[in-house]
């Protein structure tokens, strides 16, 4: 259903307004159970994954690109000026869609369903990092992602965008209890490997795996909590070069660490 909107303050556009205010966005998205998908490809992936679409915001020249998948959704057509004012991006990305969240599965149902290769993210704060890790996970054979209770939201706009829609293809769940979460994974048969830059940990290449492996990744600043480091079956590191260490570069970015570890380990699981 096409609706031409000429006023940026029109209440029909509330899902999309004030996108640059990070705190407001976070609360709006969680409160209303919505998230925003940006660009044609990502919107198609979200629809393909079964997320119900609330509405689309686009400009006249991008209408045709999504017409076949929009069904009965409200489509708000605005001028280029309104689009870039609201969306805060160049209009060449075409469209934003407001989508409804689906209920997340409980962790237990996800780990019961034959998922041998897990990534577990503890308290990551950066949405771009979460999105990029989902993208690597989708590319490198991860079956599912488990988030700690405080980990950043994969459906936040920036995470969705950086993941290129991989947040819709990798199943994920959020632990309801951080303290007992790892224990429950171990009880489900996962060998829990704590990835740490600590170079006295076991180098990743020789590490022993099993049928079910959970790779634990820590927060950007502090890394893994001491509780998880102690509880994990083994601490493993990606060896850093002597030059890097001498220069004070003592860890990798968490996205790089996730990609290296998934590439090195996930193929060997099972």
Ligand X SMILES: C[S@@+](CC[C@H](N)C(=O)[O-])C[C@H]1O[C@@H](n2cnc3c(N)ncnc32)[C@H](O)[C@@H]1O
Q: Interface residues with ligand X (CB under 6 A)?
A: 195-197, 217-218, 220, 222-224, 237-238, 240, 251-254, 257
Q: Is 192 left (phi over 0), alpha (psi -120 to 50) or beta?
A: beta
Looking at residue 39, what DSSP letter applies? Answer: S
Give the SS3 label for residue 87. helix
Closest CA to 251 of 226, 212, 219: 219
Taking the mean position of all CA atoms in its chain, how far away is CA 218?
15
Residue number with CB closer to ligand X (36 or 232): 232
**Which residue, 159 or 237, is less far from ligand X as judged by CB?**
237
Please identify, using beta-carbon distances, which residue of 108 and 220 lies nearer to ligand X. 220
Distance CA 153, CA 130 (A): 8
- Kindly tell me which of 171 and 197 has the beta carbon lying closer to ligand X: 197
- In whole angstroms, how close is the CB of 160 to ligand X at the nearest point? 22
Helix (H) or strand (E) holding 159: helix 157-163
Q: Is 17 or 196 the residue whose CB approaches ligand X more closely?
A: 196
What's the rounded Cα separation, in Å, for the pair 195 and 201?
9
Q: How far is the CB of 248 from ligand X (least distance, A)?
A: 12
Strands (E), 102-238: 117-121, 144-147, 172-174, 191-195, 202-203, 213-217, 234-237
Closest CB 261 distance from ligand X, rounded Å: 7
Work out how close the CB of 120 gets to ligand X at its nearest, in angstroms, rounded to a whole number. Answer: 10
Residue among 166 and 237 whose Cβ is closer to ligand X:
237
Least Å from the CB of residue 204 to ligand X: 7
Q: Name the token pair of 266.
A: 């996930």
Distance from C-alpha of 130 to C-alpha of 119, rounded to nearest angstrom: 11
Q: 71 is written with which tokens?
A: 């069904």
The nearest distance, CB 79 to ligand X, in angstroms, is: 43
| Position of minimal CB gap to ligand X | 223
């Amino acid at each position: 259903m096409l609706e031409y909107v000429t006023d940026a303050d029109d209440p029909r556009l509330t899902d999309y307004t004030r996108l640059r205010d990070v705190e407001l966005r976070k609360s709006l998205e969680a409160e209303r159970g919505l998230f925003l998908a940006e660009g044609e490809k990502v919107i198609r992936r979200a629809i393909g994954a079964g997320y119900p679409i609330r509405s689309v915001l686009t400009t006249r020249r991008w209408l045709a690109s999504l017409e076949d998948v929009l069904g009965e959704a409200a489509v708000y057509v605005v001028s280029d000026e309104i689009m870039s004012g609201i969306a805060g991006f160049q209009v060449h990305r075409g469209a934003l869609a407001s989508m409804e969240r689906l209920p997340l599965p409980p962790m237990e149902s996800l780990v019961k369903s034959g998922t041998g290769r897990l990534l577990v993210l503890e308290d990551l704060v950066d949405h771009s990092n979460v999105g990029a890790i989902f993208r690597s996970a989708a590319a490198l054979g991860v079956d599912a992602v488990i988030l700690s209770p405080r980990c950043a939201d994969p459906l936040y706009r920036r995470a969705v965008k950086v993941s290129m829609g991989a947040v819709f293809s990798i199943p994920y769940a959020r632990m309801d209890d951080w303290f007992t979460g790892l224990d429950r994974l171990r009880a489900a048969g996962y060998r829990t490997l704590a990835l740490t830059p600590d170079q006295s940990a076991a180098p990743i290449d020789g590490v022993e795996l099993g049928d079910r492996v959970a790779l634990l990744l820590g927060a950007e600043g502090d890394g893994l909590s001491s509780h998880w480091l102690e509880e994990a079956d083994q601490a493993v590191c990606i060896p850093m070069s002597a030059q890097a260490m001498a220069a004070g570069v003592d860890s990798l970015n968490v996205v790089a660490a996730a990609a290296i570890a998934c590439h090195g380990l996930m193929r060997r699981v099972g």
